[in-house]
Chains A and B, each alone.
Chain A
């Protein structure tokens, strides 16, 4: 709260400072103040138009922040629901995720020792594990359900269950089970259904469904299982019976006093009390206290922040576009008022006063547009939340819950307002300062500005030298190391721009700036160059996309701006043969290509927005395409990956001997599985907790993992191929292969260096493996990094597994027999080996789920970033409106010369089509380029994203919508231009 309060105070302070400065300036420069404020009032239609144009950037900021708030709220809401009243947990969780049993007396001792502690509301001894359930009424089995054993009377002090009908329920009755909605759905179960429960003993224990309760409060205890199929609540004695834990528990759940905020605040204190208490209990040795609520909220906030950052960074393109729109609007405004500014200066108004008058006018626009934009952003945030709730409801995350999470905080509104206000104001003031530097005579007589003088170019050369030095220093200090790769990229950019400015003093602008544009394009757009020059250790993540995107778009625009005439002339030559089109094309293409500064602003806005839209679409398509195309790599040629709760010795034999199951599978490959600690040299998070696998030593060829797997490798030691690596792995006692998550990030477009998250290594490196259960150790050399990351962990030989004491057959690869249904095969296998808690996962389905999830996120991002299109469309509309006013006499002249209304209309549409389509072309080409670059890097290879895919349909929709909406925006002014009576239009004044 303190941080939030600080932010609020800081923002209010900023507003106060601006207000005080404005007040002082207003009092000292009253004439400028009056001129500025009168300009706001004198043309209300234009003021509304200006505010509409200016509010877009604030809307995007506000929308981003509101989306962040909402996601934050959603994450926190579901985290709290998931954690329930389990604020602290006392227990000992093994690397495999299972909770180690400890005597029930520990609970009694802890409860006794903490009686009277005003911070603790209650405490429940529990057994937390996994269980398989067979519903005897529906005939449906379900494995790997969360098992929570807790006595009804102890459960009630931690909160009540709520049935689907809304009735409160004390807790599980002896001998019966309570299912949450998700588990009931998997089993198609109803209250009263008789069931069989299969725990650690794999023996069927009869029971019945007492009730089905809502997926809240009790649902997500950490069991370490694969997937979440729902939770089963039984009383403690039944859980002890199921898990063979007579007289023991494995989890002590503690609830703090008060509401969520209180519970959170009390967590350190209660945690300390519990730690002190268990330290005094000998039976509690090895147990630790986990601050479940604190940890879960931190994870949730981190996830929410990541999503908020993603939205903000992608929104940055639109914000930059919005800022450019503001500049464009004020440049147009300044041009419109050039004459009157000249007169004001002529009658004695100082240039500074002119800036102040703009400042006061801009202040009014900024204040109004920031307010409107903030409010509109809230609407946009709600619209996005609504879209999300409609498009992506999930089990346990219904639409209503998503909508209910819609949150707007005062801090958000204030931050959006202040950011939008300052962004607008700063841009307005900068544009005003530039506009006020006018030649009085030229302004009054409306004479065009002369070309820049040598003095101007000399000044630019000095500026260029400074930019060159800055760029060189930035590059030299950041080109290697672990810094954000944006810095050296920006360093190079500054250097290129600096060189161009210096050269412009001596060489023609067109040559210099065309070269600079091309250089910027190559510098930011040729990813391989970065790998060569910058090395592999940079991070930066998504911000690099922003940096590179801006630089590339700037390069492309420079190239266009200084070659637009040639480009237009080439197009004109194409149209030249057709006499009917020639004059229309001449007029239409000459304005944008020969007034390139104004065109460049419109182009920049459009190109930036289209760039990010296309990049998102192409990223989604590429990720999905890669997921689909790498099915073979991810699956290793198998159809299913399967896990069991209890070991199944000789599953291949059991399958072969089961006439019901055997026809469905052509091969069954077992793996010994266990938890392992991994130590990798240089990794800060040692030991890293992971899984270890090995093929049992005695399997026949058809069930031998080393002989049957078709997994590919992204890197092997000594240049081995996959078959050689597998052969060496089968027999070597000191070798291992690892999944793709161990692959180093060697491209600066990746998500960062390897420190802290996951150990990274190269083929040939060694790792120390330690079995956490028995302490056995083995040092192995990694001979290959697999392409797959679906089954994560370390694969070793049978002899290494034996040395480490890993011998439980709990992971299996199964291959579907030809001509049978995968769904039926999974169901049959699950039912047949149900007592073992066998989970059968179709690898293709897992990938398809990942594809659907990616599409969902991409869709939402596109909707959000699509808001930026409003900037581009507003830009087109405003420029077109201004053009009608500005070109009135010119329109009159061409009408006098024989242009029909239709030809004027055609000329306008063609002109804005040209600008829009060039912007779309630049944005599309660069958006595709940056995604293609990403797919060429090893970071993408690490993530399995290697197949660049162009989303043609998605692109067609984006481009058609962009173009269509732009044309709609310019339709009204174009029609107005066409309808101008020529006799009035040719007159010098309206």
Chain B
């Protein structure tokens, strides 16, 4: 049995106070193994993205504990979380969230630079990753010069270039047409298999979920299956 990369115990996340209080996550318990590709599905507002944000260290929880690679997330300072994300976590978002003023290569090399890799090495690795994802002829294009599918592939490259412990993907195919969607899903699976990359995909898309090793369903802030 592979070691767990992520462990969550009795995780609660509340928004608002008093009458306006909303429980976004309710007593979440989860373990995600290294090399696993996990899909989290559920209706809008069920807490999928909140879970992603809390377990990736982007957001705070109200109760419970989360361990990432054995380290208690709650014990980390904001700075330590930032450093951890820089080295060990990758993100893919529905809206790509590429920096519009940077080229594809520059976007991809950014996490490497943040992680402290020298500029030349970062650039070589970024180019290699983009080439591997089929964007070898788009290295110096800016996001506005790329199609949606190409942008999402750049986003994937950015998430994976640093070989993080885990990649969190929030609706990675939500903005893509069917063809691009299939291509991105296949890429995710390919990278998962090739690099034994742990990937957690939050999605509405059953096709994406079907490519994953395991699927968890959420409703009202908790897992239902």
Contact = CB atoms under 8 A, between A and B. Distances in A.
A711 interface: no
A591 interface: yes
B46 to A, nearest CB: 16
Contacts of A986: 53, 58, 91, 93, 97
Contacts of A894: 99, 110, 114
A45 interface: no
B110 A981 contact: no
A986 B93 CA distance: 8
Contact of B79 (A579, A900, A982): A900
Interface in B63-114: 78-79, 82-87, 89, 91, 93-95, 97-102, 106, 110-111, 113-114
Contact of B100 (A890, A895, A900, A988): A890
Given A586-B102, A590-B101, A900-B78, A889 B113 contact: no
B114 A583 contact: yes
B102 A897 contact: no
Contact of B97 (A590, A594, A890, A903): A890
Given A890-B99, A892-B97, A579 B116 contact: yes
Contacts of A902: 79
B115 interface: yes
A582 B113 contact: yes
A895 B106 CA distance: 16
B58 A576 contact: no
A448 interface: yes
A22 interface: no
Interface residues of A, number: 33
A577 B120 CA distance: 9
Contacts of B85: 896-898
Given A889-B95, A893-B91, A986-B93, A898 B114 contact: yes
A590 B86 CA distance: 20
B186 interface: no
Nearest to B158: A897
A595 B97 contact: no
A486 B99 CA distance: 45
Contacts of B179: none
A895 B82 contact: yes
A899 interface: yes
Interface string A547-580: 0000000000000000000000000000011011
Nearest to B106: A586
A898 B111 contact: yes
B22 interface: no
Q: Interface residue tally of chain B, by bracket?
A: 35 or more
Contacts of A889: 95, 97
Given A580-B116, A896-B85, A898-B85, A983 B53 contact: yes
B118 interface: yes
Contacts of A448: 100, 144
B206 interface: no
Given A448-B144, A986-B58, A583 B101 contact: no
Given A579-B116, A897-B85, A898-B111, A591 B93 contact: no
Interface in B116-147: 116-119, 142, 144
Nearest to A580: B116
Among A577, A595, A899, A902, chain B packs the most CB atoms within 10 A around the CB of: A899
A586 B58 contact: no
Interface in B128-182: 142, 144, 158
Contacts of B58: 895-896, 981-983, 986
Contacts of B50: 983
A901 B85 CA distance: 13
A586 B59 CA distance: 26
A832 interface: no
Interface in B5-33: none
B56 interface: yes
Contacts of A901: 78-79, 82
Contacts of B101: 590-591, 594-595
27 contacts: A448-B144, A579-B116, A579-B118, A587-B110, A590-B106, A595-B101, A889-B97, A893-B91, A893-B98, A893-B99, A894-B99, A897-B86, A897-B91, A897-B111, A897-B158, A898-B84, A898-B115, A899-B82, A900-B79, A900-B82, A901-B82, A981-B59, A982-B59, A983-B58, A983-B59, A986-B91, A987-B49
Q: Which 6 A-B pairs have the closest CB atoms?
A: A898-B86, A983-B59, A983-B53, A893-B97, A983-B58, A448-B144
Interface of B: 49-50, 53-54, 56, 58-59, 78-79, 82-87, 89, 91, 93-95, 97-102, 106, 110-111, 113-119, 142, 144, 158
